Amino acid sequence: MLACASCHGAQGEGTSDVYFPRLAGKPAGYLYNQLVAFRDGRRKYPPMNYLLEFLPDDYLKKMADYFASLRPPFPEPAIPTVSDAILARGESIVKNGDAQRGIPPCASCHGPSFGGMEPAIPGLLGLRASYISAQLGGWRYGTRTAAAPDCMQIVASLLTEDDVKAVAAYLSSRPAPADPSFAPQGSLPMPLACGSEPR
Amino acid sequence: MQRLSTKLILLLALCFAGVTPASAQQNPPANAELLKRGEYLARAGDCIACHTAREGKTFAGGLPMKTPFGTLYTSNITPDPQTGIGTWTSDQFYRMMHDGRFPDGGLVYPAMPFGSYTKVTREDSDAIYAFLRSVPPVKQVNKPHELTFPFNNRSLIIGWRTLFFNEGEFKPDPTKSAEWNRGAYLVEGLGHCGMCHTAINALGGSSESQAFEGGLIPMQYWYAPSLTSNKEAGLGDWSIQEIVDYLRTGVSARGAVYGPMAEVVYNSLQYLNDEDIRAMAVYLKGLAQGSSPDKPPPAIPSAESSLLLSLGKQIYDRDCASCHGATGLGMPPHYPPLAGNQSIQMASAVNAIRMVLNGGYPPGTAGNPMPYGMPPFAQRLSDDEVAAVVTYIRTSWGNRGAPVSARQANELRTATLK
């Protein structure tokens, strides 16, 4: 995995580049789906698309298992650079959603403490604000797609620029989860069907 | 006994003739062995690589092929009667492979490598045809090509054909072994290796007189080395086993495949049997015989180039030596040697620069399912640093390449990653 370390860190902990995500400890099924999506060009980031182009499923599975099994310490939470009002707006969306505009609570799939759910829903902590907004932007502009039905595409397209900013600021300011384990499969309500997450 | 069963099949076919569509009439049911052979030959021809779009249905086409003249989209070659080639007869299919013509006589763009496939025997063409008729039909209308004027006019292909197309099945050379001839048949014909390994001229043709002399692949910015000269691919110095390993597993004691060659190994060569890969190796080794490597350039480094070299060595020791070894010996087959590696000393430095910028994994193959990879350095090294380290590996440990400039590195930084 040396070829990955220069961007994701030797333990998959991420690097100082705010755009390079942490891999360690995410559900193996989620990581595997991402590797397949990069290889097949469904999720776009040319350097990774290129590296993975001719690697078979079995090998991608081993890479996913490897990074899922690592538990390097989480980074320090970011010190918010936005107003308290924006942070509160972010907290409200992730915990309660916005019923009027049809936005489901993020917690209904990602877990009440945002730890993720087996086998394929990732946790949302330990990510940097710019990475989170880039991913939500990717879904809105079609450079990131997940297996159909792509629930995150629906969720992301309901959010305004301001919502994205608020959500990203709130999530990145949260401390590392005390218990880094995932919710068991099927234990969260999931208001929408997701192609990557069997119910 | 055998004659009897053939007769029986014929009779059966006649009985059904009244109810089957016209196309099936001319094509008696294929047997399992023929289908297997056809599948194998389709692998050797790597039809799947071009005729399957990313995440698309197998053989349904739609893959964009960028050329300097615009984008071509490959065709649906599944047996769907409306959108695929379900109504084609084996004669029409052979004509396409052999002469590059559609059933109505129209001319096919040479991006479909009929210039090589013309060497394929009628028997092999029929086997591929039978196999393609057995794959699941997919209803998917072909995407129209997006070519610029005047290349959108198919009659222009006549000019290309006059210059570059030599119709004709492969003729074995009786002075050579059966193995050599089998290798030549695969490399020159189905393998269409010349499509990349021959210089592409302004008209998009690969010229026969320069067959296998190597060239820069347009739009992809990778250099396919000459297979005829020891100055480039240098296969004359490789053992047969090393060439076999390289072609079939993607790694060898001498170097690993990367870039577009990784696709060829991944989709095609890894599936070929021992005898065929060996035959190709024997033929390729023979091609490269008789020319010897260039003499080393006079070693009088200018002040600048020695500065470049000392910076290059610093970067190499820090970023590369852990895998490729302090003296460039690598840890073959997983980490290829750089000392004595022809692939990085060619006049064209494109491949070495791109390896440093983009890194890469050799393809995962049955013989090497978990290849070791190289990290990309584009985000970590400046143009000057890339130029320095590439100059260092091209000129150290007895390597005889020429130095490269920061400008060359910069130009390839913007080369599109697919």
In tens, the pLDDT along B335-351 reads 999 999 988 988 889 99
- When pLDDT is cut at 50, 70 and 90, the band that residue B208 belongs to is low
- Specify the pLDDT at position B205: 55
- Specify the pLDDT at position A15: 84
- Specify the pLDDT at position B289: 67
- When pLDDT is cut at 50, 70 and 90, the band that residue B11 belongs to is very low
Q: Helix or strand or coil: residue B365?
A: strand
List CB contacts (< 8 A) between A55 and chain B.
361, 363-364, 371
Cis omega (within 30 of 0) for bond into A149: yes
- Specify the pLDDT at position B415: 73
Over residues A29-42, the mean pLDDT reads 95
**Residue B20 pLDDT greater than 80, yes or no:** no
List CB contacts (< 8 A) between B323 and chain A.
2
In tens, the pLDDT along A55-114 reads 999 999 999 999 999 999 888 888 888 999 999 999 999 999 999 999 999 999 999 999
- Specify the pLDDT at position B68: 77
Distance CA A1, CA B391 (A): 27
List CB contacts (< 8 A) between A49 and chain B.
417-418
Q: Is B376 in CB contact (< 8 Å) with chain A?
A: yes
- Specify the pLDDT at position B236: 83
Q: What percent of chain B has pLDDT over 90?
A: 66
Q: Is A46 in CB contact (< 8 Å) with chain B?
A: yes
Q: Is A6 in CB contact (< 8 Å) with chain B?
A: yes
Distance CA B353, CA B413 (A): 9
- Specify the pLDDT at position B218: 67
Q: Are B216 and B415 in contact (CB under 8 A)?
A: no
* pTM for this predicted structure: 0.91
| Shortest distance, CA A19 to any CA of chain B (angstroms) | 12
Over residues B48-69, the mean pLDDT reads 92
| Cα B14 from chain centroid (whole Å) | 43
Over residues B174-192, the mean pLDDT reads 96
Per domain, the residue ranges of chain B are 23-164, 178-287, 303-413
**Residue B292 pLDDT greater than 70, yes or no:** no
Check B373 against A3: CB less than 8 A apart: yes
Check A47 against B358: CB less than 8 A apart: yes
Question: Which is it for the CA torsion B171, B172, B175, B176, positive or negative?
Answer: positive
- Specify the pLDDT at position A89: 97
Q: Is B162 in CB contact (< 8 Å) with chain A?
A: no
Range name among A47-51, A86-90, B196-200, B245-249 with the lowest pLDDT average:
B196-200
Over residues B65-79, the mean pLDDT reads 91
- Specify the pLDDT at position A160: 96
| Shortest distance, CA A27 to any CA of chain B (angstroms) | 22
Q: Which residue from A minimizes the CA distance to B261?
A: A54
Per domain, the residue ranges of chain A are 2-172
- When pLDDT is cut at 50, 70 and 90, the band that residue B117 belongs to is very high
| Shortest distance, CA A48 to any CA of chain B (angstroms) | 9
| Shortest distance, CA A195 to any CA of chain B (angstroms) | 16
Q: Which residues, other chains included, contact B205 with Cβ-Cβ below 8 Å and sequence gap of 6+?
A: B110, B160, B163, B164
CB atoms within 10 A of CB A88: 12
- Specify the pLDDT at position A19: 85
- When pLDDT is cut at 50, 70 and 90, the band that residue B287 belongs to is confident
Q: Which residue from A minimizes the CA distance to B355?
A: A51
Check A59 against B374: CB less than 8 A apart: no
List CB contacts (< 8 A) between B49 and chain A.
none
Given the candidates 1.10.760.10, 3.30.2130.10, 3.50.50.60, 3.30.565.10, the CATH classification of the domain at A2-172 is 1.10.760.10
Q: Please name the residues between 315 and 334 in chain B that touch chain A, using a CB distance below 8 Å.
A: 323
**Residue with structure tokens 């004509």?**
B95
In tens, the pLDDT along A131-164 reads 999 999 999 998 899 999 999 999 999 999 999 9
Q: Which residues, other chains included, contact A37 with Cβ-Cβ below 8 Å and sequence gap of 6+?
A: A43, A144, A145, A146
List CB contacts (< 8 A) between B373 and chain A.
2-4, 51
H/E run at residue B393: helix B383-395
Determine the longest span between alpha carbons in chain A, in angstroms: 48
List CB contacts (< 8 A) between A46 and chain B.
416-418
Test the A interface: residue of B354, B379, B416 with most A CBs within 10 Å: B379
CA-nearest of B368, B353, B361, B362 to B413 is B353
Q: Helix or strand or coil: residue B175?
A: coil
- Specify the pLDDT at position B198: 78
Q: Which residue from A minimizes the CA distance to B361?
A: A51
- When pLDDT is cut at 50, 70 and 90, the band that residue B308 belongs to is confident
- The larger pLDDT score, comparing residue A52 to residue B212, is at A52
Check B380 against A41: CB less than 8 A apart: no
| Shortest distance, CA A135 to any CA of chain B (angstroms) | 20
**Residue B5 pLDDT greater than 60, yes or no:** no
Q: Is B174 in CB contact (< 8 Å) with chain A?
A: no
- The larger pLDDT score, comparing residue B15 to residue B268, is at B268
Q: Is A51 in CB contact (< 8 Å) with chain B?
A: yes
Q: Can you give the C-alpha Rg of chain A in angstroms?
A: 16
CATH H-level, domain B303-413: superfamily: Cytochrome c-like domain (1.10.760.10)
Q: Is A16 in CB contact (< 8 Å) with chain B?
A: no
Q: Are B100 and B108 in contact (CB under 8 A)?
A: yes
Over residues B126-148, the mean pLDDT reads 96
**Residue B417 pLDDT greater than 60, yes or no:** yes
Over residues B117-137, the mean pLDDT reads 97
- The larger pLDDT score, comparing residue B163 to residue B393, is at B393
Tokens of B243: 């060439």
B241: left (phi over 0), alpha (psi -120 to 50) or beta: alpha
- Specify the pLDDT at position A176: 83
Tokens of B189: 């014909």
Tokens of B45: 């021809």
Distance CA B47, CA B59 (A): 8
What does pLDDT average to over chain A? 93
- The larger pLDDT score, comparing residue B199 to residue B37, is at B37
Range name among B59-73, B143-157, B229-243 with the lowest pLDDT average:
B229-243
- Specify the pLDDT at position B9: 35
Range name among A88-102, A179-193, B207-221 with the lowest pLDDT average:
B207-221
- Specify the pLDDT at position B14: 32
Test the A interface: residue of B52, B55, B323 with most A CBs within 10 Å: B55
Check B372 against A56: CB less than 8 A apart: no
Over residues B154-158, the mean pLDDT reads 86
What does pLDDT average to over chain B? 86
- Specify the pLDDT at position B231: 60
